[in-house]
Structure 1
Amino acid sequence: MIVPFSVSDFLYRATTVYGDRTGIVDEPHQPAASWGEITYAEVGARARRMAAKLDELGIGFGERVAIVSHNSARLLTAFWGISGYGRVLVPVNFRLSRDEVAYIVEHSGAEALFIDPELADSLDGLKASAHTFVIGSDDELMVDGEDADPQPWEPDENATATINYTSGTTARPKGVQMTHRNIWVDATTFGWHTGVSDRDVYLHTLPMFHCNGWGMPFTMAGMGVPQVVLRKVDGNEILRRVEKHGVTLMCGAPAVVAAILDAAQTWDGEIPGRDRTRIVVAGAPPPTRTIQRVEEELGWEFLQIYGLTETSPLLTVNRSRQEWDDLPAADRAARLGRAGTPAVGVRLRIDDEGEVLARSNVVLAGYWENPEETARVLDGGWFHTGDGGTFTDGYLTISDRKKDVIITGGENVSSIEVEDAIFSHPDVAEVAVIGVPDEKWGETIKALVVKAEGSPLTEQELIDYVKGKVARYKAPSSVEFREVLDRTATGKLQKFKLRAPYWEGRDRQVN
């Protein structure tokens, strides 16, 4: 018997087995009315209402629905109310500029757009092709009313469930098509490797737009795990939620770890979650010392994974193993600094140029409306990660980034996109954007700029200018003015040479 995978499988189990258990603890401090604590039975009911409202709006199976929102119970429920009933959810990065959001809405062909009320003014007038709503004030279009009976959707595991836009090597973001099969396999293997059980409590520190919150909404629902929503990352607030709700698991970029460690320095009393909480980190490998501090200062278990939006994201996982139990903390931390071992169902190899290639059921179906880029990244039946690395004794180590993507605070930033914004300034003659190491953010964005002759342009003026062109987190944190940017005989910038002085003494060109 072959039964097609569907993201609805996870909520079905939650409502069937854990219907009376708290399913979501919504963020209490938000511009829209908080849902407070709702059971998994109520999550299922609200998902059905959401799907029924899409029926009424005439949004058919396979059509796209975009949501620009901070973390919220509404967004979390949409994974089932939209994707679980045959539509395609397009969760949009709320940090993007108006023009960037408009591009994604238009490119995806979204039939409906839901906007977080905090963004209503900045996105005022932005329209989807048919319907635009502000979350909270238009809630009756999503969740209000009696229990609903939406049109049944016959699951197709190869159908697109979500389109997640990611910055890559091009100035425009690419829409990563995640199928029901991609999400299902990722959620189950992720839960297996992290040891998720119905005794866990999960805290959403990850933005839910980011690779579907790394797939955790599905993993947790399938095991009946209460999911605590955090709207904005704050180290002290994370510790408070761990203490109040008994949180045992969370995921985040190295910047989240840094925020928690900073907050712990002034925390009154014992750090909550000691010997109980585990944190899964990805986005960039944190320094060994940071890993050791998680174990020693917080008393939490540290896990590291490696993957990309294009891989749902789980490719590798690194979790302390029995053979390391008697090692000194520093030695154990050094071993945990590697990207890790292949997850179940993942095959890895390193090609002749040192690029990491992967094969797995978690690899994207393709880039939305971009067959050329899809063919390139899946050339030869392997997914080309764009990252350089080594694979030894079953462990992958990422050593360099072949594609020009900067990962700052866990977010991908295309250097080409930032260069385009900078070069649009009339006083800029040449520019190269690179990532440089930073203890808090992993990497920060540095612009190397040659000014037009006689220009009085200052560093802060240029940074402010760029912030008006792209999302603020994509703007350079520093600008270095130069007389010339060295190029090859063919006029090509060699960014690895430009980066080298800033990474001197490090064995990896990622941080």
Structure 2
Amino acid sequence: MYLTQGLHRCMQQSPERIAIIDAERSRTYRELHERVARLAGALQKLGMDTGARVSMLALNSDRYLEYLLGVWWGGGVLNPVNIRWSVPEIVYSLDDCDAGILIVDDHFLPMTPAIAEAAQRRPVLIYAGEHETPAGMHSYEQLIADATPVPDVFRGGNDLASIMYTGGTTGKPKGVMQSHLNLWASAVSRMAEFRDYGTTVSLHAAPLFHTAAMARAVGHFIAGDTHVVLPTFDARATLEAIERHQVEEVLLVPTMLQAVLEHPDFARRTLSSLKRIYYGASPISAAVLDRALAALPGIEFYHAYGLTEASPVVSVNPPVNHGPEGRANGLYRSAGRPGLGVTVRIVGPDGAELPRNTVGEIVVRGANVMQGYWNKPAETAEALRDGWLHTGDGAYMDDDGYLFIVDRLKDMIVSGGENVYSAEVENVLSRHPDVAQCVVIGIPDARWGEAVHAVVVARPGSSLSESTLREFCKQFIASYKCPKSIEFRDAMPLSAAGKILKRELRAPYWQNHSRQVG
């Protein structure tokens, strides 16, 4: 179980298959094999010994995919850098994992001097761009051209493969340690649920530094598929790439899917090659799902639930639950059932398993569960208890083993002694035809402790009001769950992965309070 095995397999069985397409560049698996072996040799000469951390700060590209394989081939450990971070946040992650090499593309080149200056250990800098190499940096392409290919060191199993930093919503970011076994097990479990092998053309529109996109890349390399790469998500570019390269599957978080459906080019593009759409990071609203199913008949929709600490997939909701029957019985709202090799329980505060249909915390065990947090033994001990990963996600499991996520436990709103799960309120708000997006958070309230507050993006041309939405909610949920206040925005703050950042919406309300929510 080593993560370069798929490249060896393709070199043996299908070397002329197209491995990667990036704009006008395309490379076969034979060419990829050669470049990866050369990149590994170059990195070793620059100081990447066994277990050394190599970072990359870049948009998606063919070089990003080569970075994944090249570091593993040469015995190193990945540290993909969050592209939304500020210089101090980036420097913290580099210092924390003692990264000795940093690969940077054109987009992030302006940040590089400040990063190198502030880092405790000035990293060796590699320029992976399209222009002249700046002074003081190595050229990525020249390194590959000059290097001698080296043999694969065949690190695998419990050897560390990557350190991926979480967003740091509380305190400093934590480096999640994923082994070769963790990533392999998660990929194979996911593939066993719903994949063809070695024949798929897949589009990378979500950022590769993020665990969901990187894990998909791992699975496609294991299978020997073709990777089509976009530097970043753009609805027009996504539609164009699907049509031009006959893309068969893509990962889109719900906000991305909605942007694609609403883009003027959607009706003009031929998307007949598309077979599967995966979505994650957040549940899909009934309105967006209805529109997607109507606009893309015959497409299979999969919802995957997971987290970086689970490398990342825990459960999958298959296409059958996205059709009329799934809508009728409510299974479209489910996060699916745990994948093969993944064990899940719903537990109470004492760690004891709860009865079915009772809300508690999701705990997970399996070969996909992380090794722990880098240099954070206390946080590791809190997350990994008695062999179980405690996710911090609140959910219940029905009698058939389907998971229903109700919220992050820390996002639960306690108002007047009553628990309110924001996802429940959001599901109701999203039913209103004039609501494009919505988020529900808890804000301070002198009387109730916390009050339910909604943030709403209305559809263009609508005339929504607080009173209209509040009365609408009362038709479906108890009054104490209905928003006490509603604010309207033009857009939501989004993470690099397209997920709405609740912590940014909460921050103004809690900044002067000793008690923090989320």
The CA RMSD over aligned residues, in Å, is 3.3
Structure 2: state its 5+ residue gaps: 350-359, 413-421, 447-492
Cα 1:486–1:71 change in 2 (3 A) is: closer
Q: Please name the residue that 1:374 is paired with.
A: 380
How much has 1:147 moved relative to structure 2? Answer: 7.0
Q: Any conservation in 2 of the 1:187–1:215 contact (CA below 8 Å)?
A: yes
In the TM superposition, 1:378-457 aligns within 5 A as: 378-392=384-398, 393-403=400-410, 443=439
Whether 1:39 and 2:28 are equivalent positions in the alignment is: yes
In the TM superposition, 1:99-498 aligns within 5 A as: 99-127=88-116, 129=121, 130-136=123-129, 137=133, 138-140=138-140, 144-145=144-145, 148-150=148-150, 152-211=152-211, 213-263=213-263, 266-269=265-268, 271-273=270-272, 276-299=274-297, 300-321=299-320, 327=324, 330-331=327-328, 334-353=330-349, 354-392=360-398, 393-403=400-410, 443=439, 492=515, 495=517
Deviation sequence 1:83-132 (CA, Å, 0-9, x none): 23210010011111111111111111001111121111133232263412
Cα 1:445–1:42 change in 2 (3 A) is: farther
Whether 1:67 and 2:53 are equivalent positions in the alignment is: no
Structure-2 separation of matches of 1:266 and 1:152 = 45
Tell me the secondary structure at the aligned position of residue 145 of structure 2: coil
Percentage of pairs with the same residue:
29
Deviation sequence 1:363-422 (CA, Å, 0-9, x none): 1011111111111100121100000000111100101211359xxxxxxxxxxxxxxxxx
Structure-2 separation of matches of 1:216 and 1:328 = 28
Structure-2 separation of matches of 1:303 and 1:361 = 22
Cα 1:147–1:109 change in 2 (3 A) is: closer
Q: Any conservation in 1 of the 2:326–2:332 contact (CA below 8 Å)?
A: no
Q: Any conservation in 2 of the 1:446–1:477 contact (CA below 8 Å)?
A: no
Q: Please name the residue that 2:353 is paired with.
A: none
Deviation sequence 1:344-377 (CA, Å, 0-9, x none): 0011111124111111110101111111111110
Q: Any conservation in 1 of the 2:199–2:225 contact (CA below 8 Å)?
A: yes
Q: Any conservation in 2 of the 1:316–1:342 contact (CA below 8 Å)?
A: yes
Tell me the secondary structure at the aligned position of residue 73 of structure 2: helix
Higher relative contact order (CA 8 A, sep 6+): 1
Query: More displaced, 284-293 or 241-250?
Result: 284-293
Q: Any conservation in 1 of the 2:43–2:74 contact (CA below 8 Å)?
A: no
Deviation sequence 1:284-322 (CA, Å, 0-9, x none): 11112222222211222211010001101110000033x
Q: Please name the residue that 2:7 is paired with.
A: 11
TM-score normalised by L of structure 1: 0.76
Q: Supply the AA of the counterpart residue of 1:366.
A: G
Cα 1:52–1:267 change in 2 (3 A) is: same
Cα 1:328–1:181 change in 2 (3 A) is: closer
Q: Supply the AA of the counterpart residue of 1:374.
A: T
Tell me the secondary structure at the aligned position of residue 123 of structure 1: helix
How much has 1:268 moved relative to structure 2? Answer: 4.1
Q: Supply the AA of the counterpart residue of 1:304.
A: H
Q: Any conservation in 2 of the 1:7–1:184 contact (CA below 8 Å)?
A: yes
Structure-1 separation of matches of 2:437 and 2:97 = 30
Cα 1:140–1:401 change in 2 (3 A) is: closer
How much has 1:190 moved relative to structure 2? Answer: 1.6
Structure-2 separation of matches of 1:473 and 1:27 = 29
Q: Please name the residue that 1:415 is paired with.
A: none
Cα 1:288–1:48 change in 2 (3 A) is: same
Tell me the secondary structure at the aligned position of residue 126 of structure 1: helix
Q: Supply the AA of the counterpart residue of 2:124.
A: H
Q: Any conservation in 1 of the 2:239–2:269 contact (CA below 8 Å)?
A: no
Q: Any conservation in 1 of the 2:128–2:140 contact (CA below 8 Å)?
A: no
**How many residues are treated as equivalent by the alignment?**
429
Structure-2 separation of matches of 1:485 and 1:366 = 31
Q: Supply the AA of the counterpart residue of 2:379.
A: E
Q: Please name the residue that 2:477 is paired with.
A: none
Deviation sequence 1:110-165 (CA, Å, 0-9, x none): 01111121111133232263412222234346753267332552424111111100
Structure-1 separation of matches of 2:253 and 2:322 = 25
Q: Supply the AA of the counterpart residue of 2:276.
A: R
Cα 1:446–1:14 change in 2 (3 A) is: farther
How much has 1:199 moved relative to structure 2? Answer: 2.6
Deviation sequence 1:15-64 (CA, Å, 0-9, x none): 22221011000145xxxxxxx01111111111111110012113201010
TM-score normalised by L of structure 2: 0.75
Q: Any conservation in 2 of the 1:26–1:229 contact (CA below 8 Å)?
A: yes
